[in-house]
Amino acid sequence: MSKMDKGAKIFVAGHRGMVGSAIWRQLVKEGYTNLVGKSSEELDLRNQDDVRGFFNTEKPDVVIDAAARVGGILANSTYPYQFLMENLQIQNNLIQSSLDNDVKKFVFLGSSCIYPRLAAQPLKEESLLTGSLEPTNDAYALAKIAGIKACESIRKQFGKDYVSLMPTNLYGTHDNFDLKTSHVLPAMIRKFHDAKMNDNSPVTLWGSGTPLREFLFVDDMATSVIFALDNVLPEHLYNVGTGHDITIKDLAETIQKIVGHRGEINWDSSKPDGTPRKLMDVSKMNELGWKHQVELEEGIQRTYEWFLKNQDNFKEVKI
Q: Which residues are catalytic?
A: 140
Q: 54: which residues sit within 8 A by CB, 6+ positions away?
A: 38, 43, 97
d(CA 89, CA 255): 37
Amino acid at 247: T
Contact 278, 146 (CB under 8 A): no
Radius of gyration of the chain, Cα coordinates, nearest whole angstrom: 19
Rama region for 27: left / alpha / beta (φ>0; ψ in -120 to 50; rest) = alpha
Nearest to 81 by CA among 140, 135, 40, 132: 140
Alpha-carbon 290 to chain mean position: 17
Which residues are annotated as part of the binding site for NADP(+)?
Answer: 14-20, 109-112, 144, 167-170, 183
Do 273 and 210 touch, CB atoms closer than 8 A? yes
For residue 112, the one-letter residue type is S
User: What does the alpha-carbon distance between residue 71 and residue 182 come to, in Å, rounded to a whole number?
Assistant: 7
Alpha-carbon torsion angle 56, 58, 62, 64, nearest 10: -90
Max Cα-Cα span within the chain: 62
Annotated binding-site positions for substrate = 191, 206, 213, 273
Q: Is 123 helix (H, G, I), strand (E, B) or coil?
A: strand
**Binding residue numbers:** 14-20, 109-112, 144, 167-170, 183, 191, 206, 213, 273
Contact 235, 285 (CB under 8 A): no
Beta strands, E only, the chain: 10-13, 35-36, 62-65, 105-109, 161-167, 169-171, 203-206, 212-213, 215-217, 237-240, 246-247, 265-268, 277-278
